Amino acid sequence: MRFRFLRRKGERGPGPLGLLYNEARLPNDIRKGLNWILAGNTFGTMHGIICGGGTTALVGLAAALGAGDTVFGLMVIIPQIAAVLQLPFSMLVNRTRKRKFYLLTYGLLSRVVWLFMGFLPMVSRGVDDQVPIWLMAVILAISSAGNSLITVVWFPWLSDMAPIRIRGRWLSLRDTILSAASLLFGFVVAWLLDVLPDPGKYAVVFLVGGLFGCLDMLSFSFAPEVWASEPRKINLFGTIKEVLQNKRFMKMVIMWTSWCFTANMSGAYLTPYAMNIMGLSFMQITVFGTVAASLATVIAVPRWGKAMDQFGARNVMLVGCIGASLTPLFYLLSTPGSIWPTFLHNAVGALFWSAANLACNGMQLAYSPDDTRPTYIAVYTCIAAIVGTALGTASGSWMLETCRVNEWFVGSFDRYKLLVLVSVILRFGFTILLVPRMEDDNKGTVMDMLRSFRPKKRIVV
């Protein structure tokens, strides 16, 4: 796979990926392997547009099954609880060293189950109308368990193949391609959801989503299994103790867990809010949500990748988190039928949260040793998922439910806007408090990095 579309028109020679590979002097098998990982990530992104937590398709399906705020929260919480499985999975992968086998068996199974999700509205409910919702929870649980294994396999695999000196730029190029795929495929999914009749549209959409998930896993069959270090027997509890004593790594974990907690307090409920309260259609949410965020990411992420290689992940993290923490405030201006809060939140927000996500991925790889990286990633994901995402989402659900039962905030400043305001204040506070405490891993300051973004003046002769 040579990805010729990454070359500029009329240009001969290697494209951006080829230039990176040449700089790192990578052999052909590693180049092809990285390209296949990129292909898998692209298919996985298209799978996630339909089957990811909080997508319009999943929110629409849950609404069709009669779900409320609590069920919407469970849709986010179930995958996070399953993240606990990453600890034993990390030890299993490190001991057996069969990355490809696990992705092509358990990983593939976790994607196959999505082929059945869209048929739930057709299930005969009988007396118990909760049966389809429980079946949806079962499918989410099976998929989430498999995703826990996928996480501890593919990310260290990528780290072993991509040298650290090009990793930031490779990840930024990857994110640019994934954003373009999200943009184009998002239109298709929204169109299908708007034009196909109920309930058959969910069967069609989730069949497509499950198929792309399977292609994601199958792509890894073409990548070589590469290990940066020789295998050694690892004691689970000893390695966990080592992770917890690694101050550099744990500062990153604490910061990102706090970020996930505050972000998911409101983030899990913004799409249901836009659909059910603001009254936006699938296409409107896609155009002013997914597409707007994808375009902003395509514009921003190459610059963030270059900045991370030059000025370090902490500087990128600080700017990204400050900007992203404030953009949900646009929802305070929302009214029924208004599209601008959704558009501004996603377009402006993606300029910054793409930086935060890129920096977090870079820190995970840079702050963890090669031989125990799967366990490091597993510990990080478990803490961030359980304490950050799951507990944050549950806290948001509790606040919404408390306000609903007591009939608080029922006017123009409703309970969702209260949740957004609380989330923004906490997220901004945690960013200012915790990010500067993290290790400054490179050359230059935040101001140096921001000045590098200014367009250079052309010298006219």
* Cα–Cα dist 28/247, whole Å: 37
Task: For residue 272, give both structure tokens.
Answer: 């249901």
* Cα–Cα dist 264/388, whole Å: 8
Does residue 157 register a pLDDT over 60? yes
- Structural domains in the chain, sorted by start: 26-452 (1.20.1250.20)
Q: With 0-12 CB in 10 A as exposed, 13-18 as middle and 19+ as buried, what is 161?
A: buried
Length of the chain: 461
- Quote the pLDDT of residue 325: 94
- Quote the pLDDT of residue 461: 44
- Quote the pLDDT of residue 442: 64
Stretch 221-236: mean pLDDT: 75
In sequence order, which residues have a C-beta less than 8 Å from that of residue 24 and are 6 or more positions away? 162, 163, 165, 166
Stretch 52-81: mean pLDDT: 79
- 268 — pLDDT class (breaks 50, 70, 90): confident
Ranking 138-147, 207-216, 285-294 by mean pLDDT, the lowest is 285-294
* pLDDT, tens digit, 9 for 90 and up, residues 173-205: 888 888 888 888 888 998 999 899 887 899 999
- Quote the pLDDT of residue 6: 47
- 8 — pLDDT class (breaks 50, 70, 90): very low
* Cα–Cα dist 177/160, whole Å: 21
- 233 — pLDDT class (breaks 50, 70, 90): low
Task: Report CA dihedral (77, 168, 346, 197) to the nearest 10 degrees.
Answer: -60
Give CB contacts under 8 A, 24+ apart, made by 40-44: 40/154, 40/215, 40/216, 40/217, 40/218, 40/219, 40/220, 40/223, 41/174, 41/178, 41/216, 42/177, 42/178, 42/181, 43/212, 43/213, 43/215, 43/216, 43/219, 44/212, 44/213, 44/216
Stretch 138-146: mean pLDDT: 91
Ranking 163-177, 226-240, 413-427 by mean pLDDT, the lowest is 226-240
* pLDDT, tens digit, 9 for 90 and up, residues 110-122: 999 999 999 988 8
Task: For residue 440, give both structure tokens.
Answer: 């400054």
Stretch 383-398: mean pLDDT: 90
What's the chain's average pLDDT?
Answer: 85
* Cα–Cα dist 317/404, whole Å: 36
Ranking 157-166, 247-256, 319-328, 329-338 by mean pLDDT, the lowest is 157-166
Does residue 310 register a pLDDT over 80? yes
* pLDDT, tens digit, 9 for 90 and up, residues 396-419: 989 998 998 999 998 889 999 999
In sequence order, which residues have a C-beta less than 8 Å from that of residue 429 and are 6 or more positions away? none
